Structure 1
Amino acid sequence: MSGTGRNRRPRWAGLVVWLGVTAVLLHTFVIATWVGPSTPVREAIGTDTLRSYVHPVFDQSWRIFAPTPRRVAVNFQVRAEYVDPATGERVRTEWFDLVDGEDSLIQGNLFPPRMSLASRRIANRLHSAMDDLNDRQLELVAANFLTTPIAELGDLMMDATDSSVPRGTVGNYMTYDAVATHLATLFHRAALGDVEITHVQYRTGRRYVPTWEPGSARTVDDASITWFDYGWRQPAEVTDDELALFAPYLRMSGAIS
């Protein structure tokens, strides 16, 4: 009898166990709701509420645990038209590839800055959106919007949407177009100095890594590039504060001196 008394668990221990089990079940439920498809339960909780719990500070990618070699190389090139302050004539710059500069930040650097993937990421996002557009929408994307507000491009693309275009594709493209235009404007504001930039343009390229074959010396540089065309756009409104924050990235990548 005395031995049984000595082995009896205190009442608080059982409470702690049940609290732990409840916490684990609640955590599992929240994670399952976050990674699962949209349901009335998820909508009732709210995406922002779930995100604040799942990603309170950092966003950890699954690629950390399942790394895969890159099979696609991308290009993100920009150019601009500006008014020569000496002659008043319009001058068109050559294409400049921002991804080349970012590669110099990444190669041999164990801790590259987050901005070292800026142009590569926007190129990937644009390619994903372009792959989902129909032929008419691709024609619209390649058109110039010199004086017409760029918002009308979105309206025209929506009018040309058919069943082959996934829902939300036009909105995604317009978001990435705005970011790409902003990136092109920032670069040329930093590179050209205080001149009047009338228009900017960007283009993206994609090439696939060649399949390895014994004895083959082919690299990604030997692969042909598929270019995606986008028309001229009005420059984005850029503040001096934005330019000051962006300029170090361009200097580190060698885009400007």
Structure 2
Amino acid sequence: MSTKTDETNDAPATPVAVAVAAPRPRPKWWVRLIAFAACLLTLWHIFASFLWIAPYSALREVPTQEVLAGYMLPLFGQSWSVFAPEPINGDYHFNVRAVIEKDGEEIETGWVSATDVELSMIRYNLFPPRAGIQSSEVASGQMNAYNKLDDKQKAVAALDFAAEDWEAWMVRSFDELDVETDTTAYMREEHLATAYATQVAYAIWGDDVVRVQYRVSRQNVVPYAERNDAGAQRPDPTFSTTGWRGPVEEEGQSRDDFGDVFRHQFESTQK
């Protein structure tokens, strides 16, 4: 029996080309620097958010309270008070009026609810701006500080302080009282509330504002035990009584920018 040799088996093997991946270039130094900085920023943000949300501890003094608050507010501030054991159970309102000078005569305006104007920015809005909650936060801080004052100190807060350098005058009035309650926290909130009221007044009534007055109120919701009562009504609001104040503006504030946003929203609520 003859054997037929397959000629193809005798042919020399054809070399197969093997693709070798080229080594990946190392990132440029500035890319590595940006990535490292982004990692550090992310770690800091997570750490700061944890300290802000968690109950107070000595860890908060690592960056100090001032540094932590300066970073978290106003953009990253958070509150978990919608949950038990102490959920939010009331609304804050911030109202403003002013005395304006017109044709040599001082005219007192009516009250305007800055809170209602701001809430109209976020109602039915899928992308609500943070500007819609500023007055509520200012009102909350002011009333919380006000409620810690002694009755004598509250009487001082109800007085009019509209002269130049009125804040120093108000501090001296507090110091003259025989009361141990520290008013530092209240004066900080007083300054903030007056500065905010000033911007609202300028936005609505223009640059002829002579004095401003703000009124903070809080109204609780229907008590939980009465939630199913068809005739249940919300309790009457409580107020922090404050007098007239001289206008206050912070360095770097833009009266025009605030006015453009707030005035437009205010006018839209009047239609």
**TM-score relative to the length of structure 1:** 0.69
Matches within 5 A, 1:224-239: 224-237=236-249
For the 8 Å contact 1:82–1:198, the answer to whether it is kept is yes
> What is the aligned partner in structure 2 of residue 77 from structure 1?
95
> What is the aligned partner in structure 1 of residue 177 from structure 2?
160
> What is the aligned partner in structure 2 of residue 22 from structure 1?
none
> What is the aligned partner in structure 1 of residue 126 from structure 2?
110
Q: Does 1:125 align with 2:141?
A: yes
1:88-119 deviation per Cα after TM superposition (whole angstroms, max 9, x unaligned): 21100001111111221222123211111111
CA distance, structure 2, for counterparts of residue 127 and residue 135 of structure 1: 14
For residues 181 and 241 of structure 1, do their structure 2 counterparts lie closer, same or farther at Cα, with a shift above 3 Å needed? closer
2:216 counterpart (201, 204, 209) = 204
CA distance, structure 2, for counterparts of residue 125 and residue 49 of structure 1: 16
Query: Unaligned stretches of 5+ in structure 1?
Result: 1-26
1:231 Cα deviation after fit: 0.8
CA distance, structure 2, for counterparts of residue 252 and residue 198 of structure 1: 23
For the 8 Å contact 2:194–2:212, the answer to whether it is kept is yes
User: For structure 1, which segment, 118-127 or 245-254, has the greater mean C-alpha deviation from structure 2 after superposition?
Assistant: 245-254
For the 8 Å contact 1:105–1:252, the answer to whether it is kept is no
3-state secondary structure, aligned to 1:185: helix
For the 8 Å contact 1:80–1:199, the answer to whether it is kept is yes
> What is the aligned partner in structure 2 of residue 187 from structure 1?
200
1:198 Cα deviation after fit: 1.6
Higher helix fraction: Structure 1 or Structure 2? 1
> What is the aligned partner in structure 2 of residue 91 from structure 1?
107
User: For structure 1, which segment, 233-242 or 175-184, has the greater mean C-alpha deviation from structure 2 after superposition?
Assistant: 233-242
CA distance, structure 2, for counterparts of residue 82 and residue 150 of structure 1: 21
3-state secondary structure, aligned to 2:266: coil
CA distance, structure 1, for counterparts of residue 66 and residue 216 of structure 2: 36
Q: Does 1:61 align with 2:78?
A: yes
For the 8 Å contact 1:134–1:161, the answer to whether it is kept is no
For residues 241 and 72 of structure 1, do their structure 2 counterparts lie closer, same or farther at Cα, with a shift above 3 Å needed? closer
> Which structure would you say has the larger RCO, counting Cα contacts within 8 Å and 6 or more residues apart?
1
CA distance, structure 2, for counterparts of residue 172 and residue 187 of structure 1: 23
1:213 counterpart (224, 227, 235) = 227
For residues 64 and 226 of structure 1, do their structure 2 counterparts lie closer, same or farther at Cα, with a shift above 3 Å needed? closer
For the 8 Å contact 2:117–2:266, the answer to whether it is kept is yes
Identity among equivalent pairs (%): 26
Give the letter aligned to residue 118 of structure 1.
Q
User: For structure 1, which segment, 223-232 or 235-244, has the greater mean C-alpha deviation from structure 2 after superposition?
Assistant: 235-244
3-state secondary structure, aligned to 1:232: coil
CA distance, structure 2, for counterparts of residue 105 and residue 49 of structure 1: 30
For residues 161 and 76 of structure 1, do their structure 2 counterparts lie closer, same or farther at Cα, with a shift above 3 Å needed? farther
1:41-96 deviation per Cα after TM superposition (whole angstroms, max 9, x unaligned): 875x45279849x96xx7363529958863111211111111113xx211000011
2:191 counterpart (151, 156, 178) = 178
User: For structure 1, which segment, 126-135 or 204-213, has the greater mean C-alpha deviation from structure 2 after superposition?
Assistant: 204-213
For residues 50 and 139 of structure 1, do their structure 2 counterparts lie closer, same or farther at Cα, with a shift above 3 Å needed? closer
Q: How many residues align?
A: 217
For the 8 Å contact 2:156–2:174, the answer to whether it is kept is yes
3-state secondary structure, aligned to 1:198: strand
Q: Please tell me whether Structure 1 or Structure 2 has the larger radius of gyration of its CA atoms.
A: 2
3-state secondary structure, aligned to 1:204: strand
CA distance, structure 1, for counterparts of residue 185 and residue 264 of structure 2: 30
**TM-score relative to the length of structure 2:** 0.66
1:244 Cα deviation after fit: 1.9
> What is the aligned partner in structure 2 of residue 17 from structure 1?
none
> What is the aligned partner in structure 1 of residue 41 from structure 2?
none
For the 8 Å contact 1:83–1:91, the answer to whether it is kept is yes
For the 8 Å contact 2:81–2:87, the answer to whether it is kept is no
Q: Does 1:250 align with 2:268?
A: no
